[in-house]
Structure 1
Amino acid sequence: MGGTEHLTVQRVGATSVLTLNRPEAKNALSLPMLVGLYDGWIEADEDDAIRSIVLTGAGGAFCAGMDLKALAGGGMAGQHYRDRLKADPDLHWKAMLRHHRPRKPVIAAVEGYCVAGGTEILQGTDIRVAGESATFGLFEVRRGLFPIGGSTVRLQRQIPRTHALEMLLTGRPYSAPEAAAIGLIGHVVPDGTALAEALEIAELINACGPLAVEAVKASVYETAELTETDGLAAELTRGWPVFDTADAKEGARAFAEKRPPVYKRA
C-alpha cells in the first residue's frame, strides 16, 4: 500500500482507509498529505479488489485546513514533493477532491476539527459520519481569505442556500448536531466511533455488486444538474448495461438460491 509521512493507507477487507496523519497540527494540510491523498484516490480506483474508501484523521481530528503558520513562515513541510506538483500543477485540487471524483464510494469518518479545508474536502465525499463533538466550518473569511476549494459552488448544492451562505459569510463553527440538521453530514455517533460506523457502512456497500454501485454513484453526480427529462434519459444510459452483466445474473441467482452473491466485476 502507498502513503506518505502525513497520509497512511490501510486495507480493511475490501475498503481502503486513508488517514490524514499529522495529529500534532490537527492534520492541517501539507504537501506530503496532499500527495498521499492523490495517490490514495488513484490507487483505490485502479484496484478492483477495493470496493469503497474511508477518509479519516489521526489523533482525534479530521483536518484543520491549510497550515496558516507554515504559510506565514514561508512554506509548508515536505518540500521534496515539489517535483510532483511541478509535474501536475492540479495535483493539490485532485487530492482535495475539487478536480477529481473517485469512482468508488468515499465515506468520511470525522472526529474533532473538520474546518476550513477540512470542510472543503468533506464536500467531495459521498457519505459522512461524525463524532458528536466534531466541529465544522469554513473559517476563511475570518482570516481575510477565500474558500477556494470549491465551497462557494458545492455547498449551496448540498445544503439549503441560506445555510450555505451563513456558513460561508460568518466563518463560525458548527457542531456535529447542527451540521446534521442542515444536511452537511448524515450520521452523528458517540465520540471515538466514527471510523467504526464508517467501516460498517463500507461493509454494506462492499457486499453489493461493484459495477452496480459505481454506476449508481456516477449516475447521481452526472444527473445532478440536468433537467428531470435529461436526467432520466442519462440514467437509462448508465443503468441498462448493468442488467447485462454476469454480476446482475449472479445477484438474481444468489437471491433465488438464498445465499450470499459472489460478484466478480463482470
Structure 2
Amino acid sequence: MSPVTGHLTVERIGATLVLTLNRPEARNALSLPMLAALHDGWLTADSDEGIRSVVLTGAGGAFCSGMDLKALAGDGPSPDDPVRARFRADPELHWKAMLRGYRPRKPVIAAVEGPCVAGGTEMLQGTDIRVAGASAVFGLFEVRRGLFPIGGSTVRLPRQIPRTHALEMLLTGRPYTAAEAERIGLVGQVVPDGTALARALEIAELVNANAPLAVEAVKESVHATAGLPEAEALERELAIGRPVFKTADAREGARAFAEKRPPVYRRI
C-alpha cells in the first residue's frame, strides 16, 4: 500500500508506517496539504494497533527545507479550499502536524537525507530516533530572516542537546553538517548517503519485535518525567511502568525466554 495523499506518501511496511514528505521540487517544504496529511498520518499510526512504529522521511534526497514561504505569505489554495477549511476549524492543526502540539504514542524514527533545516529541524525534535545520511544538513535559519523558531526549538532543543550547542544553533542560524549534528547529539547516527531510510527501517524492525505495550510505556515515561525533580520523576515512572508487569505480554516474554523461542506479543 503506497497511496499519495496531497504532498505526503503513506506506505505500510510490515508493522511500520512510513510517511514520506513528497514535494521534491521544493525540497519538501511544508505546504498546507502536506501538514494536513501529516496530521492524519500521526492519527492513523496511533489508532491502528497493528502499527508499532513510524518512519518519517523525505522524497528526492531531501528531508524538509522548512515552511513554504509562499504559503506563509498567503499564496496558496483559495479561501474556500477544503484544506484551508481544516486549518480554520483547528488553528492548532499545523502544530500537531509538526509534532509541536501532538506526541504520537508509537515511536517515530526520522530518516534524514539532504536539507533538514528551519521547520525541518524543528519537526525533527518531535521524533524519537534519528538517522542521517552523511550529506544531510541541519539548521535553524529563522534569525537570519528576522523570524523566530516558533515550532518549539527554543524550548525543546536545550532539553535535547547541551545548552551551549542549542544556543549556538539558535543564535547563529548557521548550517550544521551531519557529522556535527551527531557530535552534539541532535541525531543518533550517520550512515552513507542514500541509506538513511533503510537503516531507519532496520531500527523500526528491532522496535517492532518488542512488546508494544512496554515500548509505548517506555516512551511515555521518558517524556512524562522530563524536567521533573528526580523523586517525583521516579514516582511517575512507577505509575507508568508497574501496569506493564501485569500484562499478558509480560508473561509471554518471560515464558518465551524460558522456552527459548521468539515471543508472540498480542498487546494485552
- Which residue in the other structure is 1:210 paired with? 212
**Residues 206-215 or 63-72, more deviating:** 63-72
Aligned to 1:35: 36
Q: TM-score, normalised by structure 2?
A: 0.96
1:208-247 residue pairs with structure 2 within 5 A? 208-247=210-249
2:32–2:71 Cα contact (<8 Å) kept:
no
User: The residue matched to 2:235 in structure 1 has which SS?
Assistant: helix
1:165-202 per-position Cα deviation (integer Å, ceiling 9, x unaligned): 11011110000000000010001000000000000000
Name the counterpart of 1:108.
110
Q: Residue in 1 aligned with 2:16?
A: 15
Give yes or no for contact 1:160–1:182 (8 Å, CA) kept in 2: yes
For residues 125 and 17 of structure 1, what CA distance do their matches in structure 2 show?
A: 13
CA RMSD of aligned residues (A): 1.2
- The aligned residue for residue 25 of structure 2 is 24
d(CA) in 2 for partners of 1:112, 1:224: 30
Q: Deviations over 1:129-173 (max 9, x none)?
A: 000000000001111111000001100000111111110111100
The alignment's TM-score, normalised by the length of structure 1, stands at 0.97
| Cα shift readout 1:22-72 (whole Å, capped 9, x = no counterpart) | 000000000110001000000000000000000000000000001124445
Matched, 1:161 2:166: no
- Report the counterpart of residue 254 of structure 1 in structure 2: 256
Match of 1:75 in 2: 75
Seen in structure 2, the aligned counterparts of structure 1 residues 3 and 86 have a Cα distance that, compared at 3 Å, is: farther
- Supply the distance in 2 between the matched residues of 1:80 and 1:191 (Cα, whole angstroms): 38
SS at match of 2:56: strand
**Unmatched segments (≥5 aa) in structure 2:** none
Aligned to 1:94: 96
Q: What is the distance in 2 between the residues matched to 1:195 and 1:168?
A: 27
Secondary structure of the corresponding residue to residue 28 of structure 1: coil
The percentage of counterpart residues that share the same residue type is: 77
Q: Secondary structure at the match of 2:67?
A: coil
* Aligned residues of 2:100 and 2:151 also touching (Cα < 8 A): yes
Match of 1:44 in 2: 45
Cα deviation, residue 80, structure 1: 3.6
- Deviation, structure 1 residue 4: 1.8
1:180: which partner in 2? 182
Distance 2:240 2:69 in 1: 43
**Equivalents in 2 of 1:90, 1:8: separation in Å?**
22
**SS of match in other structure, 1:208:** coil
Mean CA deviation greater in 110-119 or 161-170: 161-170
**Letter of the 2:237 counterpart:** E
Cα pair 2:111 2:200 within 8 Å, conserved:
yes
Report Cα offsets for 1:60-100 as digits up to 9, x if no partner.
Answer: 0000001124445x423584401111221111000000010
* Aligned-partner Cα distance in 1 for 2:16–2:189: 19
Structure 1: runs of 5 or more not aligned:
none
Contact 1:3 1:39 (C-alpha < 8 Å) held by counterparts: no
The one-letter code of the counterpart of 1:90 is E
The match for 1:193 is 195
